[in-house]
Amino acid sequence: MKWIYRRLIIVFLTIYAAITITFFVVRAMPGDPIDALAQELVWKYHMSYEQARQLAMSIAPFLPKGDILHQYIRYMINFFRGNLGVSISYSTGTPVISILAAAIPWTVLVVATALIISFTVGILIGMVMAYKHGSKLDSGLAVLFSITRSIPEYIAAIILLWVFAFELGWFPTRGRYDYWALEALKHGDVFAFVWDVMWHATLPILSWIVVHVGGWALGMRGSTVSVLGEDFVHYAVARGLPSRRIVVTYVGKNAILPLFTSFMLALGFMFGGSVFIEYIFSYQGIGWVLYQAIIERDWFLMMGAFDIIVVAVVIGALLADLLYGFLDPRVRRPA
């Protein structure tokens, strides 16, 4: 069980590092975030600067008075209480945490769907490639995938957007859902709303799949080829087991396991790349919020968005690890 404790320590260290980085980045910024918030309040509510500054200090996630260590500890405590300050670019006074809570499910929807589809499709293609190892199909796909894997997803997204949304008009060009779908939802037509959401999410998901399927397929191909050379597979064949059982239980299961370790990297990569995908499709998930926060110089929102991306990736990676430990008893032993 030691690996679980080690994993949990890394989880906390990672979140701690993320909070620390954002805090010092914002403090190192030219210009005072409290001042920016106060000025926003003056401009919006016509209050005196003194009043606005008092209000800004009371809603900021750290006290701007006192030494930096004091501020840092205060911010840390506030973070774990869920107080991330307020946004200045949204309607003033909106807590950052509620903006993030509204955005993160959409990113999770796109990233999780894309990850599951590209993992499944990639594994199936990878197995076919491994069984046809050395054939024209195998070597052709290997070169193709090694190239698609290195194409940035923002390029894939722009091309898909241009071809399927602008030229062919099959899919919407931007957004998470249409206005009419929200109205339909209010009238109880859940199906129409879900359909519209899927329709909007198709191109963002497809952008990920185009880029990621190749990586999974190549990983599965390599893994399957090495499992195929193992003695227990030859023995299973010699025992006359049905080939379906050998392919699924003996080879497939053992070949998939090592791929789980790539889940963490894929998750981090996809949550990070969401900034591009969501910017290109104006898809209002967490990446879009991070982009907007920086463009609007909304520093508390930026801190919160970055921290929440890290938390999401860490939790996702932890779940993948626990699942891996559950599926493969070998990793439970200390290395």
Partner 1 sequence: MARGAGERSYLVQSVKWFIEDWVVEPLRIIVRNKKALIGFLILLFYIWMGTLGPLMTPYPKSFTCPVYLPPTILRWPPSLAHPLGCDYTGTDIWAEIVWGAPTVLEIAFIAGLVTTVVGVVIGIVSGYLGGLTDSVLMAITDVAMTIPGLPLLIVLATVIRTSSPVIVGLMLSVTAWAGLARSIRSQILSIRTRDFIEAAKALGLPTWHIVFREIMPNLMSYIAINFIFATIGAIYSSVGLYFLGMLPYTSFNWGIMLNMAYTQAGALYSISTIHYLLAPIIAIVGLQVGLILFSYAIDEIFNPRLRAH
Whether residue 165 contacts residue 172, with contact meaning beta carbons closer than 8 Å, is answered with yes
Rounded to the nearest 10 degrees, the angle between the axes of helix 299-327 and helix 2-28 is: 170
Whether residue 86 contacts residue 92, with contact meaning beta carbons closer than 8 Å, is answered with yes
- Under the binding rule (CB under 8 A), the answer on residue 154 touching partner 1 is yes
HSE at residue 81, side-chain half, CA atoms within 13 A, is 12
- Under the binding rule (CB under 8 A), the answer on residue 260 touching partner 1 is no
Number of residues that bind partner 1 (CB under 8 A): 50
**Total residues belonging to the chain:** 335
- Under the binding rule (CB under 8 A), the answer on residue 10 touching partner 1 is yes
Phi-psi map region of 240: left, alpha, beta (phi>0 left; psi -120 to 50 alpha): left
Interface of this chain with partner 1, residues 285 to 304, rule: CB under 8 A: 287, 290-291, 294-295, 302
Judged by beta carbon, residue 25 or residue 323, the one nearer partner 1 is 25
- Under the binding rule (CB under 8 A), the answer on residue 327 touching partner 1 is no
Judged by beta carbon, residue 33 or residue 126, the one nearer partner 1 is 33
- Under the binding rule (CB under 8 A), the answer on residue 29 touching partner 1 is yes
Judged by beta carbon, residue 177 or residue 276, the one nearer partner 1 is 276
Between CA 36 and CA 297 the distance in angstroms is 9
- Under the binding rule (CB under 8 A), the answer on residue 276 touching partner 1 is yes
Segment contacting partner 1 by CB under 8 A, of 19-27, 42-50, 106-114, 176-184: 19-27
Q: Which two tokens stand for residue 312?
A: 């999401």
Interface of this chain with partner 1, residues 167 to 186, rule: CB under 8 A: 167, 173
Query: Closest approach of Cβ 78 to partner 1, in Å?
Result: 19
Segment contacting partner 1 by CB under 8 A, of 10-18, 43-51, 82-90, 191-199: 10-18
- In 229-298, which ranges are continuous DSSP H helix? 231-238, 243-245, 253-256, 262-280, 286-295
Between CA 41 and CA 19 the distance in angstroms is 26
Q: Which of 4, 9, 73, 323 binds partner 1 (CB under 8 A)?
A: 9
Judged by beta carbon, residue 271 or residue 283, the one nearer partner 1 is 271
- Under the binding rule (CB under 8 A), the answer on residue 195 touching partner 1 is no
Interface of this chain with partner 1, residues 37 to 76, rule: CB under 8 A: none
- Under the binding rule (CB under 8 A), the answer on residue 111 touching partner 1 is no
Rounded to the nearest 10 degrees, the angle between the axes of helix 68-81 and helix 2-28 is: 130
Residue 86 per-residue DSSP state: B
Report the Cα 69 to chain-centroid distance in Å. Answer: 31
Query: Closest approach of Cβ 13 to partner 1, in Å?
Result: 5
Whether residue 33 contacts residue 60, with contact meaning beta carbons closer than 8 Å, is answered with yes
The CB density around residue 222, as the number of other CB atoms within 10 Å, is 17
Query: Closest approach of Cβ 150 to partner 1, in Å?
Result: 5
Task: State which amino acid sits at residue 203.
Answer: L
Q: What are phi and psi of 217, to 5 degrees?
A: -60, -45
- In 3D, which of 20, 27, 96 has the Cα closest to residue 304? 96
- Under the binding rule (CB under 8 A), the answer on residue 102 touching partner 1 is no
Q: Provide the binding-site residues for partner 1, judged by CB under 8 A.
A: 9-10, 13-14, 17-18, 21-22, 25, 28-29, 143, 146-147, 150-152, 154-155, 158-159, 161-162, 166-167, 173, 264-265, 268-269, 271-273, 275-276, 279-280, 287, 290-291, 294-295, 302, 305-306, 309-310, 313-314, 317
